[in-house]
Amino acid sequence: MQTLIIVSHPTLADSNAQRFLWESLPADGVTWHHLESVYPDGRINREAEQQQMFQYDRIIFQFPFYWYSSPALLKQWQDVVLTEGFAYGSGGRLSGKEFGLVLALGVHEREYQAGGREGFTLSELTRPYQAMAAKCGMTYMPTFAISKFDYLNDSKKKALLIAYQQYLTKENDASLKTAENWFRSQLQSLGKAGLSEADQQLVEHLIAVLEDNREHLDDLAWTLAQMEGNQLG
């Protein structure tokens, strides 16, 4: 799984939320591509942008939700890079990739509903991105929204970190096995980073527990399948 995060934020250095997300990035498989840093003059390099997209399985647009949409430079990126023949139409090269949104909201997510202060759901307001993904043949992931980051306490921030890492790199299905595999690979890559011997033993223990659980669940699944087979026979 290779993931490209296309970040658009005109004042990135001032954003605690974006700095937190940047510091939360997994070590492998993720590229952070901040448009306003790469193109301070606003001139997007279409060739370079199109070329780099080939190598990624998952494309993320990450931005503060200004006026129910992205900052201008990301819109410019869409209009310059996502041309007919590359992004859609015959010869479209994005088909089969995954597409997701990471939105930083200035108000609480519960305001995004009928009767809330914003009046519409995030699913409604992000239809232009859903339609874009559909036109490009990309699988649209559920949106990852972060509300009022500066008011989150430490435990909520830790939960956010895990959820964000999963959004970036975990297989996009709901199975327990996928979640386990993701945790195991995270633990294994932890083991490589210079941990103390005690911590390494803890990590190895956690991996062993996960594997035991998996074997046990596989046995149960096999037994269930046998029982179903007997019933059908």
- By the criterion CB under 8 A, which residues form the site for a second copy? 42, 66-73, 75-76, 78-79, 82, 118-120, 124-125, 127-128, 130-132, 134-135
Tell me the one-letter amino acid at 180: E
Backbone CA torsion sign across 133, 135, 138, 141:
positive
For the CB of residue 220, give the shortest distance to a second copy in the complex, in Å: 41
Q: Give the nearest distance from C-beta 10 to a second copy in angstroms.
A: 8
Q: Tell the smallest beta-carbon distance from residue 88 to a second copy (Å).
A: 10
- What is the C-alpha radius of gyration for the chain, rounded to an integer number of angstroms? 21
Question: Least distance to a second copy from the beta carbon of 16, Å?
Answer: 20
Run of H or E including 100: strand 98-105
Cα 161 from Cα 155, distance rounded (Å): 10
State which residue, 72 or 209, has the beta carbon closest to a second copy: 72
The answer to whether residues 138 and 146 touch, using CB atoms and an 8 Å cutoff, is no
Q: φ and ψ at 118, to 5 degrees?
A: -95, -20
**Measured from the CB atom, is 10 or 26 closer to a second copy?**
10
- In the bound state with a second copy, the residue whose beta carbon lies nearer, of 69 and 165, is 69
> Between residues 42 and 91, which has the closer beta carbon with respect to a second copy?
42
33-66 burial, b at 16+ Cβ within 10 Å, e below that, comes to bbbbeebeeeebeeeebbeebeebebbbbbbbbe
User: CB of 97: closest distance to a second copy in angstroms?
Assistant: 17
* 80 versus 187: smaller Cβ distance to a second copy: 80
Q: What are phi and psi of 26, to 5 degrees?
A: -60, 155
